[in-house]
Structure 1
Amino acid sequence: MSAHNWIDLAQDADTGIETLRAHFEGHAYDPHWHDSYLVGVTEQGVQQFNCRRTRHQSTPGKVFLLEPGDIHDGEAPTEGGFTYRMLYLDPQWLERELASLFENAPLNSQLSFARTLATDPFLAQATGQAFQALHGGELKIVRQTALDGLLERLTHHLHWRQRYCEDPRLPLVAQKAREYLHAHAQQDIGLQQLAEAAGVDRFRLTRAFKAAYGLAPHAYLVQLRLSIARRLLAGGEHPVTVATQLGFADQSHLGRWFVRAYGLTPAMYRRRCSNLPDRPAHDR
């Protein structure tokens, strides 16, 4: 991370919601995704990112809304960089909390954002208030009130969409390969092995996969492992253990990829989310 870039990350113990405030100049992070719903507000500068085959530019006051699995990157196209604050909302928590606001959720459905970038001053204000209450460790009643305000405003931007087992919009080949990667994420998977699982040759697989998900299979596998690593680290696992479990060559290899995707080291992320020391006492 350059001298001008900084990240302030915390996690709310009651809800598991991560709160992040950060500033980046130039390149911010490589394409990646999260298991969470992301709700963020740009405070300063121009926050440029690619998501769903579209380049977005978020300026001060705009709210960006990403669903779990949305591949996105980030950069500052203007001098002075950009500053933003963001909430990472656990999908199960969000659906459970919204159950009282949505009377009847359709069967086999999932919450979806109507658009990636929104101009909604009320949502921006609610996001900022929820961030401040959680990040600042306010009283529980204050945090819950702020979150209720955010949830109520989010309903204007959420809808239920069909949860596809097989998405008709994407090639079946790519979906089969993606399912195989998720089922064998910790193994040393070869491209030929993946192609055979999908029933095509390597070249057709790579073209179909990249067209469907915006990343080549090997890049998708790395991001999948990073997503799992993030979850394990937040649960208190040590970076060296996580690196071994997920098939990275070593801890430094995990660290390089983690920084490129999230802007901070695995040890720093673990410390901010779990409040545990970096190493076991007997390793010091």
Structure 2
Amino acid sequence: MPRDCRVRPRSVLYVLCVQPRQEISAWRPPVAGVVEVFHAHFTRHAYPMHVHDAWTLLIVDDGAVRYDLDRHERGTPNDTVSLLPPHVPHNGSPATPNGFRKRVVYLDMTQLDARFIGPAVDGPDIIDPVLRRRVAQLHTALATRGDEFEAQGRLALIAERLRERLRPGPGFGSAVPDRSIAQSLRDLLDARLVEGIALEEAASMIHVHPAHLVRAFSAVFGIAPHQYLVSRRIDLARRLLLDGQPPREAAPAAGFYDQSHLTRHFKRIVGTTPGRYGRAAAPA
């Protein structure tokens, strides 16, 4: 094993070296409300604009990340806890010469409902030492088999504190014209996630011109419809890979034409190939 690959016994399902001084680990713990746990050390990788269907709760242990969220530049200085809402486009790149080391837990909507999306868009980076400590403790519990009950308790306290920090409000972009048109297209894309839908067909169903449909979606959600669809499919592929499906099977199951099609988009968004991501995953 290369010197820069370090495995923590009993703590993670797998650790992968993508390139020198870069590590990735990902797993799905048996804890309700947690979609995925993702740890990574990147020195050069830059995420393109993409979305998730889950909340992204992020802490950075070394370095810093620069990212754009809802057309505003953000960052992760010092001991910030970053909370990125579902369906809101964001990117990410190293803000320091040596890159960054991050820990992410993706949470479903049972932990924070849609009322909190607007406040999180307005203030995604939270300076709260208590919250930061609790998130770090949650990662330790999630990485140790047998500590699921502890993880559940820590997650409950984290969700409670996040709700206290965020004031519920309407969803982001509620005053933007054509929001209903954009929402209709998003609903169609979600419903046809795997099989897909032609733009002409979607426009016909929503009763607008295709060009207007694309403009409305991009204006409201800050991301093109095809970028949104690929991002959602990558999320699905990640879960299938963590379930043990090989990339050749996960690709069509997630809506990609073939494995090479999946690999091209997966590496661009996640920072590694689906084969490396899913290799040697142990049973939960």
Q: Same fold (TM over 0.5)?
A: yes
8 A contact 2:67–2:92 mirrored in 1 = yes
8 A contact 1:177–1:197 mirrored in 2 = no
Q: Which residue of 2 aligns with 1:86?
A: 104
Change (3 A) 1:125 1:138: farther
2:30 counterpart of 1:13: yes
Offset at residue 220 of structure 1 (A): 2.0
Q: Which residue of 2 aligns with 1:262?
A: 270
Change (3 A) 1:123 1:60: same
Offset at residue 270 of structure 1 (A): 4.0
2:71 counterpart of 1:75: no
Match of 1:169 among 157, 164, 176: 176
Change (3 A) 1:237 1:91: farther
8 A contact 1:38–1:87 mirrored in 2 = yes
Within-5 A mapping of 1:162-201: 167-169=174-176, 171=178, 172-201=180-209
SS at match of 2:48: strand
Give the Cα–Cα distance (whole angstroms) in 2 for the partners of residues 202 and 79 of structure 1: 43
Match of 1:36 among 44, 54, 58: 54
Give the Cα–Cα distance (whole angstroms) in 2 for the partners of residues 109 and 44 of structure 1: 31
- State percent identity of aligned pairs: 33
8 A contact 1:11–1:135 mirrored in 2 = no
Offset at residue 251 of structure 1 (A): 0.9
SS at match of 1:65: strand
SS at match of 1:7: strand
SS at match of 1:155: helix
Change (3 A) 1:217 1:19: closer
Offset at residue 49 of structure 1 (A): 0.8
Within-5 A mapping of 1:38-53: 38-53=56-71
Change (3 A) 1:131 1:157: same
Please, what is the CA RMSD of the aligned residues? 2.9
2:161 counterpart of 1:153: yes
Offset at residue 62 of structure 1 (A): 0.7
Give the Cα–Cα distance (whole angstroms) in 1 for the partners of residues 72 and 211 of structure 2: 25
Q: Mind listing any 5+ residue stretches in structure 2 that lack a counterpart?
A: 1-17
8 A contact 1:134–1:143 mirrored in 2 = yes
Q: Which residue of 2 aligns with 1:244?
A: 252
Q: Aligned partner of 2:150: which letter? A: V
Q: Which residue of 2 aligns with 1:228?
A: 236
Offset at residue 82 of structure 1 (A): 1.4
Aligned residues: 262
Give the Cα–Cα distance (whole angstroms) in 1 for the partners of residues 37 and 21 of structure 2: 20
